[in-house]
Amino acid sequence: MGTGVSLAVADPAGLPAAQRVVEIELSAIEQTCSRFRPDSELSLVNGSPGAWVRVGSLFFEALETALRAAEVTAGLVDPTVGAAVEAAGYTEDFEILPKDGPALRLISRPIPGWRRVEINRRAGTVRVPAGVRLDLGATAKSLAADRAAAAAAAACGMGVLVSCGGDVAAAGDPPPGGWCVRVSEHHADPPDAPGESILFDGGGLSTSGVRARSWRRGTQRLHHIIDPATGRPADTPWLFVTVAAATCVDANIASTAAVILGDAAPLWLQRRGLVARLVGADGTVIRVGGWPGEAAA
């Protein structure tokens, strides 16, 4: 789905088995939910407006995860942003997406909204009306991390950590002292990049930001996190937000919502009992819910 993946295990002996399982899980999500594959089930649904489309159980799980994200955030994290993301210029895999190009004329208007998505669980079918395009990227990627970590931990009988482009899930018994995770702006940053390291026992971590996946069109710098109220890339004071939660999906939902919420994000996170680190465009760092300090090297 256009991102890098890292895998760690508590004992090197478990790495081959864990890798096999992780590759299977991630391949399944890719083939089901990628909007960059014309043969994915997501592309089939988006390409059949107004028609009921039969989908598999994994697509159903991914779609229901995305719809739950919309419901619990009152529509802040909404899968019907597909057309808005494409209108902003994110039309192909980020690795090959031109990072500079001619100006775009972006129109401010609300996205269609998650309630327009219809599902029939008994028949195993999904329908979206004309003008609605789904993008499951954020929640599907975090769901992939959760599923891959759990399956790999069960397969090799030890602690496993999986990172899918900033979405981190850990399952099983961690190594002594926990996983040492470097929290920075981009998942591919080197160890000495600006950021901080934390000790992480299990569950999920997710970082959402506006610069790691950004591009320029004319004089505008655009990014992939869409504000549902405007249908445009969110205007936010946060460079990136990292959230810890029981699952990677829950962490991703909260970190994405926080970027969109802007100044209201710290209180929103605090009221939900979440642990988070928010980094402003000016470098200011705000910690919420007892976010830990820097771990010893």
**Which of 1-15, 29-43, 71-85, 102-116 is predicted least confidently?**
1-15
Return the bridge partners of 6, or none.
163
pLDDT at 186: 67
Q: How far is CA 278 from CA 33, 89, 93, 202, in A?
A: 29, 26, 27, 21
- pLDDT score recorded for residue 294: 55
Give me the residue spans of the domains in the chain. Answer: 5-288
* Phi and psi torsions of 278, nearest 5°: -115, 130
CATH of domain 5-288: 3.10.520.10
Which residue type, as a one-letter code, is found at position 28?
A
Nearest to 157 by CA among 17, 2, 8: 17
What's the sign of the alpha-carbon dihedral 266, 68, 79, 231? negative
pTM over 0.85: yes
Alpha helices in 176-289 (DSSP H): 248-261, 265-271
What's the pLDDT score for residue 93?
Answer: 87
pLDDT in tens, 229-283: 999 999 999 999 999 999 999 999 999 999 999 999 999 999 999 999 999 999 8
Averaged pLDDT score across all residues of the chain: 93
